[in-house]
Structure 1
Amino acid sequence: MARHTYDTGLVGNCSFLAHIHKNTDVKWMCWPRFDSSFVFGSMLDDEEGGEFSIKPSGAFTSHQYYLENTNILCTEVTTETGTYRVTDFAPRFHQYDRYFKPLMLVRKIELIDGNPHIKIVCKPVYNYGKTKLKAIRGSNHVNFEGCGENMRLTTDATISYIVEDQYFILKDTKYAILTFGEPLEAGAQVTAERFLNETTQYWRTWVKRSSIGEFNQDYVIRSALALKIHQYEDTGAIIAASTTSLPEFPGSGRNWDYRYCWLRDTYYVITALHHIGHFEETERYFDYITDISFEEGLRYQPLYSISRQKDLTEKIADNLKGYLGNGPVRIGNQAYEHIQNDIYGQALISLLPLYTDHRFVFSERKDSAHLVQMALKRIEHTIDERDAGIWEFRNSAYMHCYSNLFQWAGCNAAFKIAQTIDDKELEEKAKRLMQRAADHIEACYDPVRKVYTHAVGSPYLDASTLQLIMMNYLDPDSQKAKDHLAALEKELKTPGGLFYRYLHEDDFGKPESTFLICAFWYVEALACVGRIKDAVREFEKLMPYANHLRLFSEDVDETDGSMWGNFPQAYSHVGLMNAAYRISNKLNKPLYLPSKALE
């Protein structure tokens, strides 16, 4: 059986994200927000999902790549009669002292050679495919009515051919610009070329201002660019993935909507971006999380919408077949109701650099003592509870080792923040709670097997406990850390370098695919304990699990390397970046630092 891959690339501008297939079709794009209905969703249903493609009349091959160090995607299509290139991007650049990031997908259709015979199809839908939009032609545009907003395709291609689904010979460069809300009134060619130049410059400057080690630098750059556009800049929220209901493995029913902001996931993303010298994302997230902190009582939800909406009731879109027929298609995520007690610590750790990194002026942070006090109250309120844990078990609760680890780490962060703001009372409270969390962690230790199990009283092992080493709860140089790592790799690691989250049955049976971030955690733990050659070898094993654009999925089938789960998965790219960072530091490879001329 051939390896299953996601044959799409991702473009975005921190306002929206779009998946472009190698056949040029926009397989997935939600407007006006990451968590809105799709306007193109053939990824989940090729009949109900609409279409926006620039395909030839006959057989073809294609080659897809990013413009170097950008989020601008090129798809070159070769037919018997000629070759053309489609360049897709979402404009993003500085303008009028702010970022210009419109709800606008720009498609440049460029003749390379010959006389390719092509057709531009633009048929957006709404309400998750239930609403078919009506096309109303204008002089140089097509309006699409039915979604409650003005959606317009502005183009210098022949309007009649688009409206009437006709092929035509591509003789010169054409432009197709789709907008939502404010229509484009300027000329298509001059606007598209200016936006393309400005957007190219923006992304290349962003990369130049990154501090990235030599180790697998090309993969780290692509991961960083992918992570950046998962932040919804208007609010500062960072989503787990741009897709919903891509199954963890075929027929599993493990189809989740990841278009929301998990406090846990955001911690990992922020950490990865800090490692390469980007802090703007943290400052934007600070406003998001502090608003949640002041609005909530003693509990956070594990996840919120990108605008902090709390009700994410899970519904089934039963009009959609699902990815490759794998239903159900879920809108919303029932995990918002879960008790997940690691998140309080991760919220604190996410904010720690704002107080301990001298590049930030911590005195600008208002109500710091109150923020930390409330976070510690939440940890104190939940520290002795069972919860659903990092893997969000729906019908069982445990005293999870991972949850208590991040309560411990969060208290440690609170202790450091309290020192910075000179609050002795907060320091003492943080120390007391650290010890309580440590007591629960130690209750998970199995002295016979020399390993920490996934929960108090449980015999099962869990890859999330690798974090005991990375978070320095276990001294990486200690024998205890090395023994713990050895026990986990013996039970959960596959010959191909992949790693299972766990192997015991959960609410949906026994997992059949590996979770990619766990493999990167394993690599990171290897580096921490000094097994550098092993870390480098295992890291290199994971690179072929990417798609043609170096983008990674959530899950991988160990038998054939197939990609499954939501895609691209922020977790997976975070894992890659953090593992590469750890290895670079251990190898003492020099970092490529930002040019002073760019500062």
Structure 2
Amino acid sequence: MMKHTYDMGLIGNCAFLGLIGTDTAVRWLCWPRFDSSFVFGALLDEEKGGEYSIRPATEGGFQSRQYYLTNTNVLATEITTAEGSYRVTDFAPRFSQYERYYKPLMFIRKVEPLDGTPRIKVACRPVADYGRQQLSRRRSSNHIAFLGMEEEIRLTTNIPLTYVLDEEAFVLNETKYLVLTYGAPLEAPLESTVEQFLRSTVEYWRKWVKSTSISNFHQEAVIRSALALKVHQYEDTGAIIAASTTSLPEAPGSTRNWDYRYCWMRDTFYTLTAFNNIGHFEELERYFHYIANISSSIQGKYQPLYGISGASQLVEEELPLAGYLGNQPVRIGNDAYTHVQNDVYGQVLVALLPLYVDSRFVNPEQRNPEKLVYEALRLIEATMDQPDAGLWEFRNLAQRHCYTYLFHWAGSHAARKMAQALGNADMEALANRLNEAATERIEQCFSEEREAYTNAIGSPHLDASTIQLIMMCYLDPASERAARHLVALEKELKTPEGLFYRYRHADDFGTPETTFLICSFWFVEALACVGRVQEAIDEFEQLLTYSNHLGLLSEDVDAKTGSQWGNFPQAYSHVGLVNAAYRIAKKLDRPNFV
């Protein structure tokens, strides 16, 4: 079987995201929000997904080279044919203006001839309602309006409109510009505005990268991961989504095709850690406020995930689309929001801890700072012995998971620090009691025979989530128990290629076929923690080979072929890379620039 990779680049400005193929076609772009219908969705259906491409008009093949402008989210795709070559520069404008960030729903494409007399053909056919609605077109003097959505989509260009409307080939003998907008159109000079926006956007990203605090350990990979992670934050609310796509299968034919355009509470701690590790305060604070807003409006329990607006109803629906490479079903929404996943209470407490103990933050709940903490602690207390779906969201299996108890332990530990900061002795006593109860239950997961912690009380199975026992210092990383636990996990879940399965036992959909990339990065972190630093470096460098041509990571990897699967790019795989690189760099204790 050939190696499958996602041959696409990511662009975005924290208001929308897009994926551009190496043939210049926009494979995926949702407007007006991350979780809206696609306006270009050929990724899931070539016929119903519309098209936006700037392809060579010549018969026969062409060569493509795709790359980012250094330290930016500005993407360039160079196409070479027998007739000549040209470059398409794609970006979503983002820069500071009037003391705010300018991040419009505007997708800009600059097309330049490089050599010879290339002939190109431009197609622009957006769709609505996941391909169920075709948009009507209205031609004006210098733009084409696409009508039928809540607001107008407009293409403003200096390419003759006839060529675009008829999708006719023409010779590219000068630089052309295409500005696609949703809602507010571009009402300014085309060429000079695009060039100014391009310069300002490049400058913004390079300044953002300069403000990151990272070591020189695989700096390029960490920078690309940080840039990818940044554009997965929906800045309007602060939410960070798991991935920009839906229904890319975890393995071909597996039916494990999920919508990941939502914010998972279970990943909060790791994501905040990543931003903290690269020294980015602004993103941290926005995400804190998103979590705090959800925390102030919950009704009796937290859900495993929420919409980017904090919406709680994420009803799953199957769409009549062909699916990625024919993989069905295509789903929008995610029924995991109905699951019982009790680690979320501890996740929230660990996530909110800096609001109470870090003086740089202004607490959003100043009037009643104890309320959120007490609420989460009481939910931990109420669910202490309640089986749940666990981190991996088993749909038809409830257990008393070790990972859930680890976050009960970590959450109550964080609450104790908050209580001390607030001078609240009652809260501290409750946190201590819950911490002891969680410890007792974690220890019930220990198997003397296997010298390791199993995935749940009374279960014989091992699970990659228990790597966190070491990383979160429940187990002393220098202890014999930590070393043996890691060896047992390695023996059962690690592939010869250094990849890690979440688990190897059957679930609702059979036995997992592909490895979960963030678990592989957790393993790297754990190796560094227990002092196996050179092994951690070797494993980390092997994991870098599973990125695509731009350094972007998927959710899952097929160990045998090295193929990328699952939703893409996966924010949490990039979180894993950032955190693993940070952990190794700390162990190496190298100066930033040697």
Q: Normalising by structure 2, what TM-score?
A: 0.98
Which amino acid counterpart does residue 110 of structure 2 have in structure 1? K
Task: Provide structure 2 residue ranges, at least 5 long, that are not aligned to the other structure.
Answer: none
Structure 2: distance between partners of 1:366 and 1:172: 61
Which amino acid counterpart does residue 398 of structure 2 have in structure 1? A
Structure 2: distance between partners of 1:363 and 1:462: 37
The answer to whether the 8 Å contact 1:30/1:40 transfers is: yes
How far off is 1:354 after superposition?
2.8
Structure 1: distance between partners of 2:455 and 2:469: 11
How far off is 1:27 after superposition?
0.2
Partner of 2:55: 55
The answer to whether the 8 Å contact 2:73/2:205 transfers is: yes
Partner of 2:26: 26
How far off is 1:146 after superposition?
1.4
Structure 1: distance between partners of 2:37 and 2:213: 37
Partner of 1:46: 46
Q: SS at 1:63's partner residue?
A: strand
Which amino acid counterpart does residue 491 of structure 2 have in structure 1? K
Q: SS at 1:128's partner residue?
A: helix
Which amino acid counterpart does residue 392 of structure 1 have in structure 2? E
Correspondence 1:393-404 to 2 at 5 A: 393-404=394-405
Structure 2: distance between partners of 1:364 and 1:299: 19
The answer to whether the 8 Å contact 1:44/1:322 transfers is: yes
Partner of 1:280: 282
Structure 2: distance between partners of 1:238 and 1:363: 19
The match for 1:267 among 262, 266, 269 is 269
Structure 1: distance between partners of 2:205 and 2:418: 33
How far off is 1:590 after superposition?
1.9
The answer to whether the 8 Å contact 2:289/2:364 transfers is: no
Partner of 1:596: none
Q: Which moved more, 1:296-305 or 1:454-463?
A: 296-305
Partner of 2:14: 14
Q: SS at 2:583's partner residue?
A: helix
Structure 1: distance between partners of 2:461 and 2:203: 50
- The alpha-carbon distance between structure 1 residues 296 and 7, as it changes in their structure 2 partners (threshold 3 A), is same
Partner of 2:217: 215
Q: SS at 2:328's partner residue?
A: coil
The answer as to 2:419 corresponding to 1:418 is yes
The answer to whether the 8 Å contact 2:292/2:364 transfers is: no
How far off is 1:592 after superposition?
6.4
Q: SS at 1:380's partner residue?
A: helix
Correspondence 1:57-72 to 2 at 5 A: 57-58=57-58, 59-72=61-74
The match for 1:311 among 290, 308, 313 is 313
How far off is 1:148 after superposition?
2.3
The answer to whether the 8 Å contact 1:312/1:334 transfers is: yes
Partner of 1:116: 118
Give me the CA root mean square deviation. Answer: 1.3
Partner of 1:507: 508
Task: Provide structure 1 residue ranges, at least 5 long, that are not aligned to the other structure.
Answer: 594-599
CA displacement 1:9-56 (0-9 Å, x = unmatched): 100011000000000000000000000000000000111101100000
Partner of 1:597: none
The alignment of Structure 1 onto Structure 2 pairs a total of residues equal to: 592
Structure 1: distance between partners of 2:253 and 2:19: 23
CA displacement 1:386-418 (0-9 Å, x = unmatched): 000110000010000011101111111111122
The answer to whether the 8 Å contact 1:105/1:179 transfers is: yes
Correspondence 1:247-258 to 2 at 5 A: 247-258=249-260
Partner of 2:180: 178
Structure 2: distance between partners of 1:368 and 1:87: 48
CA displacement 1:143-201 (0-9 Å, x = unmatched): 00112211000111111100011010001111001000111111221111111111111
Partner of 2:136: 134
How far off is 1:361 after superposition?
4.8
Partner of 1:190: 192
The answer to whether the 8 Å contact 2:514/2:558 transfers is: yes
How far off is 1:428 after superposition?
1.4
Structure 2: distance between partners of 1:45 and 1:529: 47
How far off is 1:310 after superposition?
1.1
Structure 1: distance between partners of 2:15 and 2:238: 11
Q: SS at 1:353's partner residue?
A: helix
- The alpha-carbon distance between structure 1 residues 23 and 458, as it changes in their structure 2 partners (threshold 3 A), is same
Which amino acid counterpart does residue 187 of structure 2 have in structure 1? E
Structure 2: distance between partners of 1:408 and 1:396: 23
How far off is 1:362 after superposition?
5.1
Which amino acid counterpart does residue 303 of structure 1 have in structure 2? L
Q: Which moved more, 1:441-450 or 1:374-383?
A: 374-383
Partner of 1:356: 357
How far off is 1:286 after superposition?
2.3
Structure 2: distance between partners of 1:180 and 1:366: 40
How far off is 1:504 after superposition?
0.3
The answer to whether the 8 Å contact 1:237/1:306 transfers is: yes
Q: Which moved more, 1:568-577 or 1:365-374?
A: 365-374
Which amino acid counterpart does residue 76 of structure 1 have in structure 2? E
Q: SS at 2:441's partner residue?
A: helix
Which amino acid counterpart does residue 451 of structure 1 have in structure 2? A
Q: SS at 1:288's partner residue?
A: helix
How far off is 1:308 after superposition?
1.1
How far off is 1:432 after superposition?
0.8
How far off is 1:463 after superposition?
0.4
Q: SS at 1:352's partner residue?
A: helix
CA displacement 1:257-298 (0-9 Å, x = unmatched): 000111122322111011010021121122222221121133
Structure 1: distance between partners of 2:149 and 2:565: 31
How far off is 1:316 after superposition?
0.2
Partner of 2:562: 561
- The alpha-carbon distance between structure 1 residues 176 and 85, as it changes in their structure 2 partners (threshold 3 A), is same
The answer to whether the 8 Å contact 2:317/2:333 transfers is: yes
The answer to whether the 8 Å contact 1:111/1:173 transfers is: yes
Q: SS at 2:131's partner residue?
A: coil
The answer as to 2:322 corresponding to 1:337 is no
How far off is 1:376 after superposition?
1.0
Which amino acid counterpart does residue 22 of structure 1 have in structure 2? T
Which amino acid counterpart does residue 82 of structure 1 have in structure 2? G
The answer to whether the 8 Å contact 1:212/1:592 transfers is: no
Q: Normalising by structure 1, what TM-score?
A: 0.97
Partner of 2:429: 428
- The alpha-carbon distance between structure 1 residues 115 and 567, as it changes in their structure 2 partners (threshold 3 A), is same
The answer to whether the 8 Å contact 1:282/1:351 transfers is: no
